[in-house]
Amino acid sequence: MFHVERITQNRIIKGITSILLIIFILQSCIGAKAGYQIDDYYIAENGKEILGTKPLNAFIFENNVTNLPFEQFLAIKYKLDNYLTREFWINIDGARYKMIVYENSEFDKYFGISNFAAKNQENIANIVGGQPKFIAISMISEFNEDCLSNKSILQNMATTYLKNLKDEYIQIK
């Protein structure tokens, strides 16, 4: 008959316990992935796909959640029908461009909320209307050209326009 001595059995239990303890300690030392902090704005790739285009680039900035919602700001500025309008045409220097504002769920789908870290943290009581921490906007020309693409001659104009729009929104009190 096979007989295991008590000393050997204790060593096996202590060995398994030690291994599990080491695995637990190593697992707890792994920190959370730090998100990218946006100082002014960030142009991200792989946004929405519009008919006849590759995935669009998006202009992303950190939202000032203590202001009125960004959609409300756009509805007032561009005299839109309602606050839920996410795609609309604008005129810049006589040319037409379509602005596409991402919903929070779309932002997470295309760019991943966990990839970004908010610089400005607010108490829940200060946040107006459950706003997202980040806002993403894509912009196409009337010929379905991605205005924020590195290959576009419209990139500088579109980036400047969206940066001015962002600054105007952030300054609202």
What is the model's pLDDT at position 172?
A: 81
Distance CA 58, CA 63 (A): 15
Both tokens of residue 133?
A: 């921490």
Highest mean pLDDT among 1-5, 10-14, 50-54, 158-162: 158-162
What is the model's pLDDT at position 3?
A: 59
DSSP characters for 130-160? S--SEEEEEEEETT--BTTSTT-TTHHHHHH
> Would you list the domain boundaries of the chain?
42-171
Please count the other Cβ atoms lying within 10 Å of the Cβ belonging to residue 66. Answer: 14
Express each pLDDT in 134-164 by its tens digit.
Answer: 999 999 999 999 999 999 999 999 999 999 9
* The CA-based dihedral angle spanning residues 76, 42, 40, 172, taken in that order and rounded to the nearest 10 degrees: 10
pTM: 0.75
Express each pLDDT in 104-127 by its tens digit.
Answer: 899 999 998 878 877 766 655 555
What is the model's pLDDT at position 168?
A: 94
